[in-house]
Structure 1
């Protein structure tokens, strides 16, 4: 009877531990910091790659908690968050947010469309502007020019093409690693229960 009671305590201890670990794994949030333009700094696009920011936004799936990192010479440029109308007309007056330290970080806190341009006169007209969508934004809210195009295995930058991993493979990798770690926890839990029962 005492042996059965110790086995039940061990099993209960194991279940509670497993539940706590699973809750902890589910509550982990993975946030990423994305350098806008990847290898290109925030600046006027070159003639070799005039749509660098349009291309960049097509191939990055941003989520709440992620950050945009704008890197530029602070004496020569800035970045501003603007409304959709200001984005389209390149109106840099009355921005929502103004950043000019050369190492600007924008944290994404909600779903929607975000519009950015350079705060310097004439830069927006030369395509130094970016629109990103976060979350479930309806397709009619995104202009055809900024809508994601057909998927490709890479996109161009000043330094050549940057390969893009297929987005469909990302969730399966994440799910398989979670399953592997859960399986390891179960095996370790049964081992600990066996040792605990043997000592009782």
Structure 2
């Protein structure tokens, strides 16, 4: 029973730690055109499909099409607008192509079949920027710290007879809420331990 009470005591703290942990999403593969694949007239316009998705760096696009009849050409914006397939950045023509989204920004895809491109078989994908973590605060220079005047080791004070200092009221910042959350979690844990101990 004591271990059960200890478990209840730890739950609020685990929740608090877990809520501050960030999980990175794994890279995803997107099938361009869904079941239809890379075709001339899809049931959903490719750019509408792209706007519904949130592409991240390291995701991949899967293009499925008829080899020998069609292909996928990665182009610059001006070539995208005019369906110019003569100066491609990259051309994929194996019928089952994977394109890695290696960086953020806009990617432009057109059909390698000029007639298909002019009929609207083209796609613009926006890859979202990678969010950088906030920089850590820089500690103050050593010259601001007070000089050490004594070389004696710090004294130890026995724990008996000590009381907790009374803290002044704080503002209503998020750090205050964290303290209240932890305090309530510990109080809840002690109450649960007391009830379990009554059995």
Number of aligned residues = 124
| Structure 2 CA distance for partners of 1:104 and 1:59, relative to 1, 3 Å | same
Query: What is the rounded CA distance, in whole Å, between the counterparts of 1:117 and 1:58 in structure 2?
Result: 17
Report matched runs for 1:63-142 at 5 Å: 63-136=56-129
Task: Please report how far the alpha carbon of residue 93 of structure 1 lies from its aligned counterpart in structure 2 after TM superposition.
Answer: 0.6
- What RMSD, in angstroms, separates the aligned Cα atoms of the two structures? 3.4
Q: Is the partner of 2:114 in helix, strand or coil?
A: coil
Q: Which has the higher helix share?
A: 1
Indicate yes or no: 2:58 matched with 1:62: no
Query: What is the rounded CA distance, in whole Å, between the counterparts of 2:33 and 2:40 in structure 1?
Result: 11
Match of 2:172 in 1: none
Query: What is the rounded CA distance, in whole Å, between the counterparts of 1:90 and 1:122 in structure 2?
Result: 9
CA deviations 1:150-174 (Å, max 9, x no partner) are xxxxxxxxxxxxxxxxxxxxxxxxx
Report matched runs for 1:21-40 at 5 Å: 26=22, 28-40=24-36
Indicate yes or no: 2:37 matched with 1:41: yes
Structure 2 portions without partners, runs of 5+: 1-13, 130-199
Q: Is the partner of 1:93 in helix, strand or coil?
A: coil
> TM-score scaled to structure 2, two decimals?
0.52
Structure 1 portions without partners, runs of 5+: 1-17, 137-200
CA deviations 1:10-47 (Å, max 9, x no partner) are xxxxxxxx9xxx8xx757541100000112210111xx
Report matched runs for 1:153-192 at 5 Å: none
Query: What is the rounded CA distance, in whole Å, between the counterparts of 1:39 and 1:127 in structure 2?
Result: 18
Q: Which has the larger radius of gyration?
A: 2
Query: Which 4+ stretches in 1 moved above 2 angstroms?
Result: 25-29
